[in-house]
Amino acid sequence: MSLLTLKVNGRSHQVDVDPATPLLYVLSDDLELRGPKFGCGLGQCGACTVIVNGQATRSCVTPVSAVGQNEITTLEGLGSPDAPHPLQRAFIDEQAAQCGFCLSGVVLTAKTFLDRNPRATDEQIQQALSGVLCRCFANVRMLKAIRRYADGRTA
Amino acid sequence: MTPRLSPDARGALGRAGFSRRSFLKGSGALVVAFSSAGVMDTLSEVFAQGFNGTGSPQLDSWIAIGRDGIVTAYTGKCDFGQGLYTAQMQLVAEEVGVPLSRVRLIQCDTSITPDQGTTSGQQSHPTNFNHGNLALAGATARKALIQLASAKLGAPVSDLVARDGLVALKSNPSRSVAYGELIGGQRFNLQLDQDAARKHPKEWTVLGTPVPRVDMRDMVTGHFEFVHNVRVPNMLHGRVVRPPEVGATVGSVDESSVRDLPGVVKVVVKGNFVGVVAQKPWQAMQAAERLKVNWTRGSALSPHADLYAELRRQPARDTLLVDSGDVDARLGSAATVLKATYQHPYQMHGSMGSSCSVADVQGDKATIWSATQSAFPTRNTAAMLLGLKAENIRVVYVRGAGCYGINGADTVSYDAALLSQAAGRPVRVQLSRKDEMAWENYGNAFSIDQRAGLDATGNIAVWDYEAWSAARGGRPGYNTPGNVVTGFLAGSSPAPFAPRTPAPAPDTPLNNNSNTAPSYIAGRVRDSANGAGVIRSERVLSHRVLSPFFTGPLRAPERLQNTFAHECFMDEVASHVKADPVEYRLKHLSHARLMAAIRAAAKAANWEQRPSPRPNRQRTGKVTGRGVSCVCYEGDNGYVAMVAEVAVDQDTGRIQVTRLVVAQDCGPISNPDGMRNQIEGGALQGMSRALGEEVTWDDRKITSIDWRSYRTLPLGFAPPVVDIVLLNQTDVEACGSGETSITVVAPAIGNAVFDATGIRLRQVPFTPERVLAALRASTE
């Protein structure tokens, strides 16, 4: 075990963990955050996604020790129920989810991609989401919500 | 959503032992969901529930009104992402007559909600939205409030109206009394009143409107509590060690192999059930990896490639649903006989989240936080596994990842309970991806023969269906924990399988609950004719064999597999007689609502009337086509038709679905946007199942164990345009709509591929390899 300091959603946290522990378990068990979720543990589905240093990162296959002093943003760090981020707002407006378990992967992957590619085409957005799963298949609404957000921020 | 207890409420409930009655003595506002508020140590004063899956005849089991006018409703039908929570809130708001903001809903908690069995088979609308259960409770409460107000205001019932939380005089709306004043904090002490009138859909102001999901905001911002987020004091983390192969049994377990690992608390062995408990999840995972178990091999599996032949070689339990007795003779004398065989593989639920549960077993009492669709049955079966009394167990439903049927939620609840019992502390278990996928209850594999005899005019005179399907276990129900893997490993048996040949003659009216019978037959048994069609020479014969794998309901269970075979075959026959597939269907149907759905879908799709395949097709490159399919879901629970438009790349074998048009009649619509969301999701999930999903195995074990080896469509593809026609029928009973659209996708796509290319796909999934093979075969 070792003492590590993590910067999560604008706050510093000290945790005493095995440095090999995947970041996901530290976030969801030690810090009891609800955004990142265990989907597959293999980096294949996206449910555990967090933003580290501006990059969508699969926290289930990222050792906590690899994060260092980088700022971590989870789905709850993006916006709150009372003040959702504009991308989250678009998902609410489009009612773009069913069970909602996949949303960290969908929202945060789209967010980081659009930050780098604000004028992305639909095809580029789909390509960016090619490794993200939603097993309820709310695809149509989700892509619509992402488009709505993308159009809004470049308007 | 996820209402949390205020500190006051928590104290009050703790003192009261969580009893319903005690909530009612206080403010109704106290009554909110428990989530992970704490471990219950007493189970006193549970209100009469009717522990038999059928709800409760008592109004107070369903609805309580606080002094502040807050209406708390209790339901035994749960939301697992399909939007039912919001729809049930709308129902309560509408029937009781309060704004949505004043409704609280508690779902599936065995200590306080009515026992409504399992939430499945798109039965929640038929059960709770017609004239019974939650809907009738709302209507009964409104009627009672009006009667109470009549006494209080000295006005006749006929001059009173209940709405917005008030009962007011129609003749003088300024004279009114609030619900809280009439009944707040007290029990109704009434039975559900069959004479209490439900509001007609034409009067609805809350139901029937696209109310946004009440849980959406919390989900999208990461605040929603899933069962995966439940944390209770003193909690440990467990991990199961499943057999490495199907049929393997425990020889010995070497506990010393993990003794030196940090955080390990306990190794648990019960029969063939093996698990480890540790302080932290990562420690439990490492211990489960490291634990040395000597497994004794079971018998080898029959090869995956041999699946469909193997289905037909097994001892079978035969069932005849319909048999007009003249099928062989009519086939013998028919002008033309057509025959085709359709294959549908095992498929999996493949939930996004590996299943998770938290259990706290303390002495002779237990609390289980579970995403099961069957809170009460899980309580009873967990009691059997734990050796406890069912009434001493509380199962609290907390949502998991979308399940689409019996995923790992039931089995992981047993895992957590067994590990907690052994450890003496609360234990949380989350399955690995492999444990989820290798051991869940798969959707059944089917091999289906269809035969049709045509008369001289090209109409179908005789239809003969014969199917072989494999099953093992299923939902545990109230007494069969061995129907899922954990119960089985811990020593319980799955439901017994009893071969039976030949099948007895049918003697009860056709119940087409599994859509075993095609829509086009009359379905005559004795004096009844429950089919949706006109073909009077008819036979429907099923052979059920034992599967080596656990199986169970997967969204549109059996209905999807059967409908694939029915609707593709209907298309084959139509093509053979050079008839338009829509016209030909209509010609063989008698069911007005299904026919209306077909016409609506065809109209919305701008259906080009002509036979399939498309004339003057190119033999290379990309070609396009359209196909239709339809079903009376479960015989009488929703009527849906779909037109699929596809582009097929004949060089790669890749099918691109470009448009899906769905017309659906599910009776009065509770929430049109919720229904659209279900139709869209079902349509695309059906696409994924039709195009890529298939459970695979080698000679010993399942090999589709992650998202590389089990192919699902990701978010990153160009989705088809999904056009939806909602046929809102206000003078009929409410049907479900969660499983309608998915049922008709594979045949609509298969028929569209035929239209485009002239090749007939008779085996799901329609992988590029299979499409290419069929294209090659057709040109040879």
| Residue-wise pLDDT tens digits, B625-659 | 999 999 999 999 999 999 999 999 999 999 999 99
pLDDT of residue A17 exceeding 60: yes
Query: For residue B213, which amino acid is it?
Result: R
Residues of B in Cβ contact (< 8 Å) with A107: 220
Dist. CA A141–CA A144, nearest whole Å: 5
CA distance A32 to chain B (A): 7
State the CATH number of the domain containing residue A63.
3.10.20.30
Confidence of residue B780 (pLDDT cuts 50, 70, 90): low
> Can you give the residue ranges of every domain in chain B?
7-219, 227-298+349-439, 446-779
Between chains, do B714 and A99 touch, taking CB under 8 Å as contact? no
Indicate whether A67 and A117 sit together in one domain: no
**Which tokens sit at B304?**
């995956």
B100-156 pLDDT per residue, tens: 999 999 999 999 999 999 999 999 999 999 999 999 999 999 999 999 999 999 999
Confidence of residue B702 (pLDDT cuts 50, 70, 90): very high
| Count of residues making up chain B | 780
Q: Cβ neighbours of residue B451 under 8 Å, at least 6 residues apart?
A: B331, B337, B338, B339, B462, B463, B464, B466
Indicate whether A70 and A24 sit together in one domain: yes
Least CB-CB distance to B712: which of A99, A103, A135? Answer: A135
Indicate whether A41 and A95 sit together in one domain: no
Residues of B in Cβ contact (< 8 Å) with A47: 352-353, 401
- Output the pLDDT for position B91: 98
Using a pLDDT cut of 70, give the percent of chain B over it: 93
Does the ipTM surpass 0.90? Answer: yes
First-last CA distance in chain A? 49
Between chains, do B354 and A40 touch, taking CB under 8 Å as contact? yes
B316-347 pLDDT per residue, tens: 999 999 999 999 999 999 999 999 999 999 99
Fold of B227-298+349-439: Aldehyde Oxidoreductase; domain 4 (3.30.365)
Residues of B in Cβ contact (< 8 Å) with A122: 718
**Short-list B116, B79, B215, B99, CA closest to B163:** B99
Residue in chain A lying closest to B678 (CA): A98
B146-172 pLDDT per residue, tens: 999 999 999 999 999 999 999 999 999
Task: Judge whether B7-219 and B227-298+349-439 match in fold.
Answer: yes
Indicate whether A67 and A97 sit together in one domain: no
Confirm or reject CATH 3.20.20.370 for domain B446-779, answering yes or no: no
With both helix axes pointing from N to C terminus, report the angle between B745-757 and B672-691 in degrees, rounded to the nearest 10. 60
Indicate whether A31 and A57 sit together in one domain: yes
**Residue contacts between A and B (CB atoms, under 8 Å):** 203
Residue in chain A lying closest to B713 (CA): A133
Indicate whether A60 and A122 sit together in one domain: no
Residues of A in Cβ contact (< 8 Å) with B80: 99
Between chains, do A95 and B212 touch, taking CB under 8 Å as contact? yes
- Output the pLDDT for position B511: 97
Q: Note whether B601 and B593 are within 8 A (CB).
A: no
Q: Across the strands, what pairs with B662?
A: B642, B724
Indicate whether A73 and A90 sit together in one domain: no
Confidence of residue A153 (pLDDT cuts 50, 70, 90): confident
Between chains, do A98 and B402 touch, taking CB under 8 Å as contact? yes
Rounding to the nearest 10 degrees, give the CA dihedral for residues B570, B571, B576, B579: 100
- Output the pLDDT for position B52: 67
Average pLDDT for chain B: 93
Residue in chain A lying closest to B356 (CA): A38
pLDDT of residue B3 exceeding 60: no
Indicate whether A57 and A11 sit together in one domain: yes
Dist. CA B489–CA B316, nearest whole Å: 25
Q: Note whether B736 and B666 are within 8 A (CB).
A: yes
Q: For the ranges B28-37, B156-165, B413-422, B441-450, which has the lowest average pLDDT? A: B28-37
Looking at A56, A77, A98, which one is the last position of a domain? A77
Check CB contact of B326 with chain A, cutoff 8 Å.
no
* Mean pLDDT within B159-187: 97
Indicate whether A66 and A6 sit together in one domain: yes
Indicate whether A132 and A98 sit together in one domain: yes
CA distance B287 to chain A (A): 13
Between chains, do B714 and A130 touch, taking CB under 8 Å as contact? yes
Looking at A39, A58, A77, which one is the last position of a domain? A77
Between chains, do B262 and A84 touch, taking CB under 8 Å as contact? no
Between chains, do A38 and B224 touch, taking CB under 8 Å as contact? no
B554-577 pLDDT per residue, tens: 999 999 999 999 999 999 999 999
Between chains, do A18 and B282 touch, taking CB under 8 Å as contact? yes
State the CATH number of the domain containing residue A91.
1.10.150.120
> Chain A 50-69, CB below 8 Å of chain B: which residues?
none
Question: Domain spanning B7-219 has what CATH number?
Answer: 3.30.365.10
Dist. CA B152–CA B157, nearest whole Å: 11
Residue in chain A lying closest to B82 (CA): A98
CA distance A139 to chain B (A): 6
- Output the pLDDT for position B44: 27
Looking at A45, A77, A109, which one is the last position of a domain? A77
Its pTM stands at 0.95
- Output the pLDDT for position B19: 40
Domain count, chain A: 2
* Mean pLDDT within B383-399: 97
Q: Which domain holds residue A67?
A: 2-77
pLDDT of residue B31 exceeding 60: no
